[in-house]
Structure 1
Amino acid sequence: MSELLTEVSEEGPSPFARRVLDIIDRIPAGRVMTYGLIATLVNGHPRQVGQVMTRWADETQWHRVVYANGTPATCHGNSALALLRDEGTPMRGGRVELIHALWNG
């Protein structure tokens, strides 16, 4: 079932993937959302959000999506941490301080 939600068509992302990407596009600089929070908003699973990110990350601010413990993604040469810091995202060590940076859409 998750394949159908995230599959690619000739027109681009599936409707599910487009909803995920639209949410990510609205996250302001210096703020983040978790995979789980996005999944809740689109009636999906965090892994489905991850699949969308894997396929379509270059079309959005992928670094603003973090794990539930505030850890940034390690893809793209592990550059998420630097991108988040450049935006002024509240951090403690290598994690985002979710209490200050979480955006609920």
Structure 2
Amino acid sequence: MSELLTGISDEGPSSFARRVLDVVDRIPAGRVMTYGLIAASLDGHPRQVGRVMTRWADETHWHRVVYADGTPATCHDNNAVALLCDEGTPMRDGRVDLGRALWNG
């Protein structure tokens, strides 16, 4: 699989992965973006963004990236909900209230 698709290279994040991480770094506390919205802003696919986040999540505020229905990521011992709540992110029934928290960059 190519570096472009995986976001992984021997020397650190690929250029696509770096762009994903840069977008995530700009998401303000209390706000979120979806995998799909990030992908669309970079001319990519949500699964590409997911692969980047899987590999490089520790480099950024991974918990601010959610699924299209507002469901937080379940990695990192399911800490996303607690981190989002600590930042004051609007939640409803365990999901982010995208109507109030979605950030479009």
How many pairs are equivalent? 104
Q: Distance in 2 between matches of 1:65 and 1:24?
A: 7
Deviation of the 1:4 alpha carbon: 2.3
Give the 4+ runs in structure 1 shifted more than 4 A: none
Which residue number corresponds to residue 47 of structure 2? 47
Deviation of the 1:37 alpha carbon: 0.1
- 1:58 counterpart letter in structure 2: D
- 1:63 counterpart letter in structure 2: H
Runs of 5+ unmatched residues, structure 2: none
Runs of 5+ unmatched residues, structure 1: none
Q: TM-score, normalised to structure 1's length?
A: 0.95
Q: Distance in 1 between matches of 2:38 and 2:8?
A: 20
Q: TM-score, normalised to structure 2's length?
A: 0.95
Percent sequence identity is 78
Equivalent pair of 2:20/2:38 in contact (CA under 8 Å): yes
Structure 2 CA distance for partners of 1:96 and 1:7, relative to 1, 3 Å: closer
Q: Aligned Cα RMSD in Å?
A: 1.1
